Structure 1
Amino acid sequence: MGSDKEVARQVMGEERVDRSEGFGERLLGLLLDRARLMPPQLIAPLVAEEVARIGGRDVSILLQDYAQEMLVPLAGRKLHVGQPEPMAGSPAGQAFLSGDVVDVPQAHGGVRMYLPLLDGSDQVGVMALTLDVVGDDDRRLVRRLAGLVADMVVTKNAYTDLFFLARRREPMSVSAEIQWSLLPPLTMTVPQVAVAGILEPAYRVAGDSFDYALNGNILHMAVIDAMGHGLDAATMATVAIGAYRHARRVFVSLAEKYAFMDDAISRQFGPDHFVTAQLMHINITTGELELVNAGHPAPLLIRDGRVVRQLDSATTLPVGFGGEEPRIREHLLQPGDRVLCYTDGIIEEHVPGREPFGEERLIRCVNRLGQEPSQGVRADLRRLSHTLKRERGGHTSDDATLFMVEWHGGAADHLAVLD
């Protein structure tokens, strides 16, 4: 005779699936049942209690800081609060950047587990805990627990400053507050395509922003740079992104998106203000790419770790000058190709010696890092951003944004089919 979980009972001639609650369901179900009413400050003690029920201890929740340099411990009752851990060279950083669980055997027994907190495919942070022994059932359960914790952190973040304050490691300007509130998740990964973005300087960014949405088989993307500095630039960027999102949800073509943004900026700010922009569509099934380049440096096409060329397009006037018909250029990607978009703050920063950093230095950095094993789009883009900052002597006097897309193609229908 099989176990209770293997037996399907016959009721009135029909097969009935066993729906009894097991240990794992009870543990995870407790979080699900209480999540709706859970105040943000009580997430930590509840998670610590859940981990204790499976024999775990010393629970830490580590959130990425805004500069993507450190993982910062969240303070909370029953949580183990240690020092911030660097992204580079720490087990927590390895788990965060790779998206995989990292086990570290402890000198006095037990295993310290670092589990990425994944909201979809966007890394929120890391949950760390210690178990005396780690079996397959333990590993499966804590991975699912980490997934629920990530979802709770993201959901509760919408109506508390608790997680924001943990992530902030230095004062943030008002313009940066505005820009960070505009951003979508910094990373998205599905089988056909992955995207990642990063803003510098994280605590003073003003006019740069990016946005994306995956609607059906079309990935919609925009990278913008509003003229000026401080609140003026942040205000203009807010209008540009708002107009882009509205157009994306109403219109279809890139030309209509450009026209809608152009009209919004020119009406709101007049003819002496503008926003440079790159607008793209990528068919994630076929790799067909449409590009409007309105005053930005041309994106770089990276293949097998090296820049093979710029994605040229006939120059279109920046958004806000009023009424120009945008010029659309089409390209075809190959599986594994990456497209790197960047704003002019990357290449116009002056390096020690007073000369502009320049596109050639950027390409050399991309090619040099491309010789190292890839750790995924998010980790590779972060490494590039920090390398560029070091090459510029640590200076980022203007907004400097990087946005990368990696295309694979194929399909994801198998994810909607239960085994």
Structure 2
Amino acid sequence: MGVGFADPGGRTRGESLGERLLGSLLDRAHLMPPRLVGPLVAQEVAEMGGRDVAVYLQDFEHAMLRPLQGPGLVGRPEPIDGSPAGDAFRTDQRCEVPQADGTVRLFVPMLDGSDRVGVLALTLPEVDDNDRRLAQRIAGLTADLVVTKSGYTDTFARARMTKPMSLSAHLQWQTLPPLVMTTPDIALAGALEPAYEVGGDSFDYALDEHTLHLAVFDAMGHGIEAASMASLLIAAYRHGRLSDQALPDMYRQMDDVMAASFPGRFATALIGQLDTVTGRLSWINAGHPSGLLIRNGLVLGELGGPITRPVGFGHAEPRVHSTQLEPGDRVLFFTDGVVEERLDDGGQFGEQRLQQFVEDASLLALHPAETVRLLSHALLRGRGGRTSDDASLLMVEWKSPPRDDELARGIPEAVPTGTVLD
């Protein structure tokens, strides 16, 4: 039975099932300890007639979905490639799998904003649009709970791990922004490898008003010292960003900090800014391989120009470059560990092979998040399943100039079409 309450006009209306379930989840969740988030979601799904609830989180290598454990929860690890749960995760679309007993198994992507958190799975006797809409909202709220409570618990990080993580890798993961960011104007995705052993590689970004700030770093060496250098670089970069420094001033600040804190050491860096109104991309490349410009599924060319010295040598004069993007263009930035890995025959993996992988992935017209995930795995396979150096990838797509007026007026809500698997 619904709960009645008065609206501003004095009328009384009942609380719908969806309002009651989501309201109950919100009311109880803010004080719920992290270990009970999954069981709480299972309880609320049971109220809508669902059962066999699984809350999957992506592992750090983006290869498996790992289920939370607890009362009312089911599930076993599922591969992201080749499973219904993985299909929902990869495509950001709901998947429905009819069961032999006439019920329907739903796999709903859990998105925190646009960041991929995992997948919510549940079984319902039958499914209509109201069920789909409610399941989508429960999945979104579950993602928010996981992300929010991750700030003060190891429960979810531990669930995501498939093997022990090095101290340097742990330090790097703690400094990363979300791996995926999507707005109507911009799509962005990044990756680090090897996920459990990465040391000096990292990336960062921020979207402020109509400027996308982005950066990729590769600190000299491996292990704790390299991770510490990268963490200091990120702190210096963010300090300059928050102070509204221009790109040359950000570079000089990082250069000074590195020279003073790690004498005789250095780090390569790429820092850039994309004007999301005009599509103008500006950058300083301090020792990285040149980024790739991708248009219509093909690598159009490199973002070349004279290279600035890596940060840490002191007193270098930064060189700023720029190019004009077209709507739909993508840019891929990467560290030298991507292309300099030695293969069994002694040769390097190479930029030509990287470009071929990029074009093969682009032809599938996938979201940058899935493109980067597939590219990262393809690179690892191409290098014989091993890596002797850290590697990082950062892909940015400029979709179009902002449409703030249209968004402010509101876009009619629609139930995701999803995918039905027989």
TM-score range, shorter-chain basis? over 0.9
Structure 2 portions without partners, runs of 5+: 413-422
Residue equivalent to 2:55: 61
The one-letter code of the counterpart of 1:298 is: S
Residue equivalent to 1:213: 206
Deviations, residues 29-62 of structure 1 (Å, cap 9, x unaligned): 1111122211101111111110001110000000
- Matching residue within 247, 251, 262 for 1:258: 251
Residue equivalent to 1:394: 385
2:270 is the alignment partner of 1:278: yes
2:96 is the alignment partner of 1:95: no
- Matching residue within 335, 338, 346 for 1:346: 338
Q: Judge conservation of contact 1:314–1:328 (CA < 8 Å) in 2.
A: no
2:180 is the alignment partner of 1:177: no
User: What is the root-mean-square deviation of aligned Cα atoms in Å?
Assistant: 1.6
**Displacement of 1:23 after TM fit?**
2.1
- Matching residue within 231, 236, 249 for 2:229: 236
| Distance in structure 2 (CA, Å) of the matches to 1:185 and 1:299 | 21
Relative distance call for 1:18 and 1:253 in structure 2 (3 A) is farther
2:282 is the alignment partner of 1:308: no
**Displacement of 1:365 after TM fit?**
1.8
| Distance in structure 2 (CA, Å) of the matches to 1:355 and 1:333 | 34
| Distance in structure 1 (CA, Å) of the matches to 2:87 and 2:184 | 22
Q: Judge conservation of contact 1:103–1:111 (CA < 8 Å) in 2.
A: yes
- Matching residue within 312, 321, 331 for 2:323: 331
The one-letter code of the counterpart of 2:16 is: G
The one-letter code of the counterpart of 1:315 is: I
The one-letter code of the counterpart of 2:342 is: H
**Displacement of 1:191 after TM fit?**
0.6
The one-letter code of the counterpart of 1:106 is: Q
Residue equivalent to 1:32: 26
Residue equivalent to 1:141: 134
Residue equivalent to 2:394: 403
Residue equivalent to 2:415: none
- Residue correspondences, number: 406
* Shift >4 Å, 4+ stretches: 15-20
Relative distance call for 1:263 and 1:48 in structure 2 (3 A) is same
| Distance in structure 2 (CA, Å) of the matches to 1:56 and 1:70 | 25
Q: Judge conservation of contact 1:292–1:313 (CA < 8 Å) in 2.
A: no
2:68 is the alignment partner of 1:77: no
The one-letter code of the counterpart of 2:72 is: K
Q: Judge conservation of contact 1:291–1:313 (CA < 8 Å) in 2.
A: no
**Displacement of 1:17 after TM fit?**
8.0
The one-letter code of the counterpart of 1:102 is: C
Residue equivalent to 2:195: 202
Residue equivalent to 1:378: 369
| Distance in structure 2 (CA, Å) of the matches to 1:354 and 1:200 | 21
2:219 is the alignment partner of 1:226: yes
Q: Judge conservation of contact 2:279–2:401 (CA < 8 Å) in 1.
A: no
Matched-pair identity in %? 53
- Matching residue within 110, 113, 133 for 1:117: 110
**Range that drifts further, 385-394 or 121-130:** 385-394
**Displacement of 1:343 after TM fit?**
0.4
Q: Judge conservation of contact 1:97–1:375 (CA < 8 Å) in 2.
A: no
**Displacement of 1:294 after TM fit?**
0.3
- Matching residue within 347, 350, 361 for 2:353: 361
**Displacement of 1:264 after TM fit?**
1.1
The one-letter code of the counterpart of 2:183 is: V
3-state secondary structure, aligned to 1:394: coil
3-state secondary structure, aligned to 2:18: helix
| Distance in structure 1 (CA, Å) of the matches to 2:128 and 2:359 | 41
The one-letter code of the counterpart of 1:368 is: D
Q: Judge conservation of contact 1:251–1:257 (CA < 8 Å) in 2.
A: no
3-state secondary structure, aligned to 1:348: coil
TM alignment of 1:39-50, pairs within 5 A: 39-50=33-44
| Distance in structure 1 (CA, Å) of the matches to 2:329 and 2:157 | 34
Relative distance call for 1:192 and 1:145 in structure 2 (3 A) is same
Deviations, residues 273-328 of structure 1 (Å, cap 9, x unaligned): 11100101001121100010000000000111111100113210111111222100
**Displacement of 1:369 after TM fit?**
2.7
**Displacement of 1:234 after TM fit?**
0.4
- Matching residue within 274, 278, 291 for 1:299: 291
The one-letter code of the counterpart of 2:39 is: P
3-state secondary structure, aligned to 1:255: helix
TM-score of the aligned structures, taking structure 1 as reference length: 0.94
3-state secondary structure, aligned to 1:267: helix
3-state secondary structure, aligned to 2:318: coil
Structure 1 portions without partners, runs of 5+: none
**Range that drifts further, 166-175 or 389-398:** 389-398
3-state secondary structure, aligned to 1:210: strand
